[in-house]
Amino acid sequence: MRLRPLIIVTCMLCAAAPLAHAQGRGSVEIAPFIGYRFGGSVTDYYYGQSHSINASQSEGLIVSVPIRYADSVELLFSRQSTNVDVGTITGTKRYPLTINYWMLGSVHEFTAQSERVHPFLAAYLGIADLSTSQGSITSASRFSAAIGGGVKFDLAEHVGARLDARAYYVFVSTSGGMFCGGGGCSASFSGSGLLQGEGTASLVIKL
């Protein structure tokens, strides 16, 4: 199952909570989130026209482990179930598309006027899984990178909130079609990369 690596790594990071407390580096944070992701396009094989990946809801999980006073290591999983309307000779077809990001990164927090507010910047590297339930090419994994920023809010001793804005870049090529069937390929991912943006809101649980 695709979720098994996330569960294993999450358990490993949560096991680091006592060590982080002992060294005075704060709490391990688990932050499930919902958001909105947009951007990216495919190119029509027949007419050379670009078709946008439809913007839609995203959801996922962030696990953050402090390593220094203002720095943390984070595991990020983000999932988007969307679709693409692709023009073909026989008309426009709607293809379902799922894009999952599995990423590891670092976060640096900055000092704010309020001790309960924590602005931060983040950078990630990882893998993007692109899959569709239609076509002979049903899944592809590509290297990806992301940058982001946001703010954390302390609501109580073990509870907080978090707002994030992220930009993802997936390194792909047009050498193969993503949406293929008996009549041939309809479209491929355009250019040398896929760029997406995402905004999310999280409930933070501090261990």
Q: Can you give the pLDDT at residue 1?
A: 43
Residue 183: closest CA among 136, 132, 140 = 136
Q: How far apart are CA 169 and CA 171, in angstroms?
A: 7
Quote the pLDDT of residue 36: 98
Cβ atoms of 37 and 81 within 8 Å: the answer is: no
CA 147 – CA 136 distance, rounded (Å): 33
Kindly report the pTM of this predicted structure.
0.85
Do the beta carbons of residue 85 and residue 50 sit within 8 Å? no
pLDDT of amino acid 183: 63
> What per-residue confidence (pLDDT) applies to 29?
93
How confident is the model at residue 4, as a pLDDT?
53
Residue-range domain boundaries for the chain: 3-206
Low pLDDT (below 70) residues in the chain: 1-26, 87-89, 134-138, 173-176, 181-184, 190-191
Please give the pLDDT value at position 114. Answer: 86
Which fold, 3-206?
Porin (2.40.160)
pLDDT of residue 24: 47
Whether residue 117 contacts residue 151, with contact meaning beta carbons closer than 8 Å, is answered with yes
